Amino acid sequence: MEGSAPRRTRIQQEKRELILEAALEVFSANGFRGSTIDQIAEAAGMSKPNLLYYFRRKEDIHETLMQRLLDTWLAPLRELDDIGDPMTELRSYIRRKLEMARDFPRESRLFANEILQGAPRIMPMLEGELKTLVEEKAAVIKGWMRAGKIARTDPWHLIFSIWATTQHYADFDVQVRAVLGPDRGGDGRFEDAARFLEQLFLDGLKPKV
Amino acid sequence: MEGSAPRRTRIQQEKRELILEAALEVFSANGFRGSTIDQIAEAAGMSKPNLLYYFRRKEDIHETLMQRLLDTWLAPLRELDDIGDPMTELRSYIRRKLEMARDFPRESRLFANEILQGAPRIMPMLEGELKTLVEEKAAVIKGWMRAGKIARTDPWHLIFSIWATTQHYADFDVQVRAVLGPDRGGDGRFEDAARFLEQLFLDGLKPKV
DNA sequence: CAAAATTTTGACCGGTTGGACAAACGTTAG
DNA sequence: CTAACGTTTGTCCAACCGGTCAAAATTTTG
Q: Is residue B142 part of a domain?
A: yes
Nucleotides of D under 7 A from a protein CB: 6-11, 16-22, 27-28
Cα separation, B46 vs B20, in Å, equals: 13
Note whether B75 and B158 are same-domain residues.
Answer: yes
Q: Is residue A99 part of a domain?
A: yes
Note whether A106 and A131 are same-domain residues.
Answer: yes
Q: Is residue B46 part of a domain?
A: yes
By CB neighbour count within 10 A (0-12 exposed, 13-18 middle, 19+ buried), where does A207 fall? middle
pLDDT, chain A, mean: 93
Note whether A140 and A48 are same-domain residues.
Answer: no
- Looking at A39, A56, A73, which one is the last position of a domain? A56
Note whether B47 and B149 are same-domain residues.
Answer: no
Confidence category of residue A2, pLDDT binned at 50, 70, 90: very low
The per-residue pLDDT for range A17-45, each reduced to its tens digit, is 999 999 999 999 999 999 999 999 999 99
Run means of pLDDT, 10 residues per run, chain B, 209 residues: 56 93 97 97 98 98 96 93 92 97 98 96 95 98 95 97 98 98 95 98 80
Note whether A39 and A84 are same-domain residues.
Answer: no
The per-residue pLDDT for range A107-147, each reduced to its tens digit, is 999 999 999 999 999 999 999 999 999 999 999 999 999 99
Is ipTM beyond 0.90?
yes
- What CATH number is attached to the domain comprising A167? 1.10.357.10
Note whether A46 and A83 are same-domain residues.
Answer: no
B21 CA to C4 C1' distance (Å): 32
B46 CA to D14 C1' distance (Å): 27
Please give the pLDDT value at position B3. Answer: 37
Please give the pLDDT value at position A5. Answer: 52
Note whether A52 and A72 are same-domain residues.
Answer: no
Note whether B13 and B86 are same-domain residues.
Answer: no
Note whether A124 and A146 are same-domain residues.
Answer: yes
Cα separation, B167 vs B161, in Å, equals: 10
Q: Is residue A1 part of a domain?
A: no
Q: Nearest-CA residue of chain B relative to A90?
A: B205
Residues with CB under 7 A from strand C: A 35-38, 48-49, 52, 56-59; B 9-12, 15, 46-50, 53
Q: Is residue B30 part of a domain?
A: yes
The per-residue pLDDT for range A76-119, each reduced to its tens digit, is 999 998 988 999 999 999 999 999 999 999 999 999 999 999 99
CA dihedral A180, A185, A188, A189 (to 10 degrees): 50
Cα separation, A186 vs B42, in Å, equals: 46
Q: Is residue B141 part of a domain?
A: yes
Contact B158, A205 (CB under 8 A): yes
- What's the number of domains chain B is made of? 2
Note whether A49 and A149 are same-domain residues.
Answer: no
Note whether B197 and B159 are same-domain residues.
Answer: yes
- What is the residue range of B48's domain? 7-56
- What CATH number is attached to the domain comprising A21? 1.10.10.60
Note whether B108 and B159 are same-domain residues.
Answer: yes
Q: What percent of chain A has pLDDT over 90?
A: 88
By CB neighbour count within 10 A (0-12 exposed, 13-18 middle, 19+ buried), where does A69 fall? buried
Q: Is residue A187 part of a domain?
A: yes
Q: Is residue A151 part of a domain?
A: yes
